[in-house]
Structure 1
Amino acid sequence: MLDLLYRLKEMGFNRMKLTPSKAYFCLMTLLASCLFSAFSVAAESSKISLSRDQVENIVRRSYQYVAIYNVNNKAAEAPESSPMGTGGWNKLSLNTSLFDASIKLIARPNNDTLYQIAMLDLRDQPMILDVPAFDSMYVSLETSAYDHYVSVPLSSVKGDYKKPEKVLFYTARTQGYTAGDEIAGIDRYLEMSGDFVIAFHRIMPHANEPEKFNRISDQINALKLMSLSEYQGKPAPAPSAINFPAVGATDADVFGNNLLEVMQFIFNHTTFDPQDELDQALLAAYKPLGIEPGKAWDPLTAAKIDGDLFREVTGEVQKTVLGMLADAANNTRFLPLIFQPKGQIALETLIVQSVIGPIGLPLTEAIYPPVAAQDGKPMNALNNYVIKISKDEMPPAKAFWSLTLYDRQNGFFIPNEHNKYSVGENAGFKLNADGGIEIHVAAEKPAGVPKENWLPVQRRDEAIDLSLRIYAPDLEKMKTWKAPSAVLVN
């Protein structure tokens, strides 16, 4: 106010003969100018100077949260008509068609199981998933909140899905429910670590067996999601209002554009363990930035960070992980470690699983061995490759296996007019007379190669990846089994 009066005096305001309306306009203009200056000073003073090492520490400790926030919220925000989209929270997306190249919500999706996605908002009351029995040789339910720790509460590997079950989900903050309360007809109670959760079924559809496929499709459509109120025959309450921070087209976009806003939101909807080392290190990294559980986000007073630097460091972390995984020895090391519950997984592994693609299965459910080029060079769509697997070298799957082709940069299917992205029991394959198989990666189908065994690429300078999926792996045989290599053909 003193500044305002001084500026009025400087302008000779006391000597000006103004009408009341003009005087009011001048006063408001000057007041706005002073307020803008004050906000500018406040914003400038709230800028936080971080070293590159500090930025890298924050990126590495935040990656699991940013990656899964992007995946979960994109699925909830996407319309029901889109692949993996639920059109909102506390909704269920049912799918009876194998994915194609239009799927962009998650890196390295698969084309061998059907995804059934429930996006849960557990703030107001518990949600209940009514699960039928399934005839498929492989089914699993996987869950994760924003911390990207993975649990598999139901799985055909463990003998589940032989009978229907009702599963109730809640958190420590869920209103109207206390842990330990039993409700008639509920078979399982699952406490989640966050208020916003993905509960995600993978179902092997037996797509090459039409009668069985139709039966499984009917079972998929019998999946139901309801609130506790609806389960008890009452109207579902209106959801509490909430504003979600914007997702990013990529994880790097969140790190560059609105990291602090996203992390404040996550902090307010996540259960942190005072005894967990990773939880406490994360909270300690953000406290100097003013981000703490229970605080309200205020963009006017929030700290300012160098978004460009955070984006740059995120790219370096991604590049380091992908480069490291190009080494077969590193893949062998990480495969048994990824996608585990809280307390059973290290920070480095959390970063790896978040970079390669959130929401995967642990070792006991599935293994994802990459297929590298035999010459050790990065694979490129300018070349043709063949993967030869003899009968004795077939992937040791108790359920089934598949081989999927992706572009390396984004982890998406490579579009092609044949709608062919993987080789396996659902997408199709043909064995040789000796029980082995040859799979070809090429722009044009090589002569004599069954179309089921061909993975089309677009002939251009583009890095590509091949990933095996082995469902219900024989862990004893996996000790000596080796993934095949891709041999350069041209």
Structure 2
Amino acid sequence: MTTGNAQQEWAYVAGVQAFIYGYPLVEIVRTCALMTAVDEPQNNGRAPINQFSHCPRPWTHEDRDVVTPANDLLYSMAWLNLADGPVMLSTPAPTGRYFVMEFIDAYSNNFQNLGPRMGGPSAATFAIVGPNWSGSLPPGSVEIRCPTNLVWMLGRVLIDGVEDMEEACAFQAGFTLRVTAPGRLPRAVAGYRPWAESGETFFANLASAMADDPPPAADTGLVAQFSRIGIAPDREFDVDALGDAQVAALRRAVAAGLEIVEGHTRSRRARSWSINYAGGRLGTDYLARACTAMKGLGALASEEALYALCDFDRNGEQLNGEHGYVLRFPAGELPPVDAFWSVSIYGSDFCFVDNPIRRYAIGDRTRDLRYGPDGSLEILIQHGQPQQGHSNWLPAPAGRFYLILRMYHPREAILSKDYTIPPVERVGEDVQR
């Protein structure tokens, strides 16, 4: 092998690794750039840096800023830049309603959660500070030290039907932010460039993001290998310094990395359900972290919520709206949780799909569910409306789709893997049941 070929192959191999490692970081920066590109808070999750957007309704097929959203909750979102000083968070007194305020760092790790199980009985004030901040805080505030200066706060407030919306929104409004310095976008966010049509642009975004928020110590050895292809946190990525063959290799690496990550978001054994028990805290499992960023950015840590993904039916066939399916929970075997559970359905673009009854999930708070005489529950998953009505109907798109079973405050039975989720059964060519 010639020296040129060796350099090209090294660029490809290192590029694939850098893509898998950096995809969550670039996706965080992309999402921040998208959601902060407004002059004032919106009601759809978008708001200027260091400000809340309180969404007064559950997300639907019309909301596409974040992949795989839930439809059971009201979202409150804020992107923080802590480089200029602390941000003060005030939280309301718990009322018995489920909520969680999730903190996600620049590398997509869920490093902190605030909720009824972690807080006291009263309203509270928290001082959110960056990794290198030092100084004094207001009396009575609780410090939350973050591993990166870029932080995504993703709040969830449970709603119990349309009639509960007003009270849920009132509780949601109790989460407020106060800044100690004017907010400004991080450099990587302000300079973010879409990379789908230019593989090398991905690596430019990655290097800029790592400069803003350096990799954790555990990643030092891996990241050092990327410097040989110009990807490093201490300098800008200069594509002109590389040869044409290396640039071509990096473009191939991005394409291959995307294929690897997308492929691993589905069960490699084509099982009906797969669960990531690490949730949003994946450490140095870089491939799992990239998969979570692609198909579930903002996932919570497992003690707060577990997410079971289903791309295949019992027979290992890809779920598709050309067929009808049933998910049957036997009596006494509903998901074991202390908060709530729901099954949501998504199209191949990782978002909700429009449907005639505007239903995107079925769960333990769904009105008018019909249970069998023995207490079992059948969820009908199909494109056309079932003959017996839509009480238990989860409308499917016409093409490929997947399901997510969310289990908030999972009990020991599911955490210890003693509980088995029933497989999704295909019911034959006739999708009208």
TM-score, structure 2 as length reference:
0.86
| 129, 149, 156: which one aligns with 1:202 | 156
SS at match of 2:160: coil
* Gap change, CA 1:319 and 1:138, over 3 Å in 2: same
Counting only pairs closer than 5 Å after superposition, residues 209-288 of structure 1 correspond to structure 2 as: 210=163, 212-228=164-180, 236-237=181-182, 239=184, 242=187, 244-248=190-194, 253=196, 256=199, 258-274=201-217, 276=218, 279-288=219-228
In proportion to residue count, which structure has more helix? 1
Unaligned runs of 5+ in 2: 429-433
* Aligned-residue offset at 1:429: 5.4
Moved more, 158-167 or 72-81: 72-81
| 250, 253, 267: which one aligns with 1:310 | 253
**Cα-to-partner distance string for 1:60-79 (whole Å, 9 max, x where unaligned):** 22222123222333222367
Q: Does 1:374 align with 2:306?
A: no
Q: Which residue of 2 aligns with 1:163?
A: 122
| 278, 287, 303: which one aligns with 1:337 | 278
Q: Which residue of 2 aligns with 1:483?
A: 421
Q: Which residue of 2 aligns with 1:454?
A: 393
* Aligned-residue offset at 1:401: 0.5
Q: Which residue of 2 aligns with 1:178?
A: 134
* Aligned-residue offset at 1:381: 1.1
Q: Which residue of 2 aligns with 1:464?
A: 401
* Aligned-residue offset at 1:310: 3.0
Following the alignment from structure 2 to structure 1, what is the Cα–Cα distance between the partners of residues 269 and 340?
A: 25
**Cα-to-partner distance string for 1:158-187 (whole Å, 9 max, x where unaligned):** 2426321111112135xxx506x342131x
Q: Does 1:350 align with 2:298?
A: no
Following the alignment from structure 1 to structure 2, what is the Cα–Cα distance between the partners of residues 457 and 376?
A: 18
Following the alignment from structure 1 to structure 2, what is the Cα–Cα distance between the partners of residues 103 and 465?
A: 18
Q: Which residue of 1 aligns with 2:264?
A: 321
Contact 1:115 1:200 in 2 (8 A): yes
Q: RMSD of the TM alignment (CA)?
A: 2.8
Q: Does 1:365 align with 2:307?
A: no
Following the alignment from structure 1 to structure 2, what is the Cα–Cα distance between the partners of residues 485 and 330?
A: 7
Q: Which residue of 1 aligns with 2:431?
A: none
Q: Which residue of 1 aligns with 2:230?
A: 290
* Gap change, CA 1:241 and 1:397, over 3 Å in 2: closer
Counting only pairs closer than 5 Å after superposition, residues 111-126 of structure 1 correspond to structure 2 as: 111-126=71-86
* Gap change, CA 1:255 and 1:197, over 3 Å in 2: farther
SS at match of 1:147: coil
SS at match of 1:55: helix
In proportion to residue count, which structure has more strand? 2
SS at match of 1:400: strand
Following the alignment from structure 1 to structure 2, what is the Cα–Cα distance between the partners of residues 319 and 242?
A: 29
How many residues are paired up? Answer: 414
**Cα-to-partner distance string for 1:460-480 (whole Å, 9 max, x where unaligned):** xx2111111111111235532
Amino acid at match of 2:420: K
SS at match of 1:77: coil
Q: Does 1:190 align with 2:144?
A: yes
Amino acid at match of 1:466: L
* Aligned-residue offset at 1:153: 3.0
Following the alignment from structure 2 to structure 1, what is the Cα–Cα distance between the partners of residues 391 and 88?
A: 40
Q: Does 1:98 align with 2:58?
A: yes
**Cα-to-partner distance string for 1:419-463 (whole Å, 9 max, x where unaligned):** 1111124554514144332111122221224x242122343xx21
Q: Which residue of 2 aligns with 1:398?
A: 338
Following the alignment from structure 2 to structure 1, what is the Cα–Cα distance between the partners of residues 186 and 418?
A: 54
SS at match of 2:100: strand
Amino acid at match of 2:247: I
**Identical aligned pairs, as a percentage?**
18
Contact 1:112 1:204 in 2 (8 A): yes
Following the alignment from structure 2 to structure 1, what is the Cα–Cα distance between the partners of residues 298 and 9?
A: 31
Moved more, 48-57 or 465-474: 48-57
Following the alignment from structure 1 to structure 2, what is the Cα–Cα distance between the partners of residues 362 and 60?
A: 21
Contact 1:118 1:198 in 2 (8 A): yes
* Aligned-residue offset at 1:330: 8.5
SS at match of 1:291: coil
* Aligned-residue offset at 1:316: 1.8
Moved more, 317-326 or 60-69: 317-326
* Aligned-residue offset at 1:355: 2.9
* Gap change, CA 1:390 and 1:329, over 3 Å in 2: closer
SS at match of 1:178: coil
Following the alignment from structure 2 to structure 1, what is the Cα–Cα distance between the partners of residues 383 and 65?
A: 26
Following the alignment from structure 2 to structure 1, what is the Cα–Cα distance between the partners of residues 32 and 183?
A: 21
* Gap change, CA 1:89 and 1:264, over 3 Å in 2: same
Q: Does 1:55 align with 2:15?
A: yes
| 322, 338, 359: which one aligns with 1:420 | 359
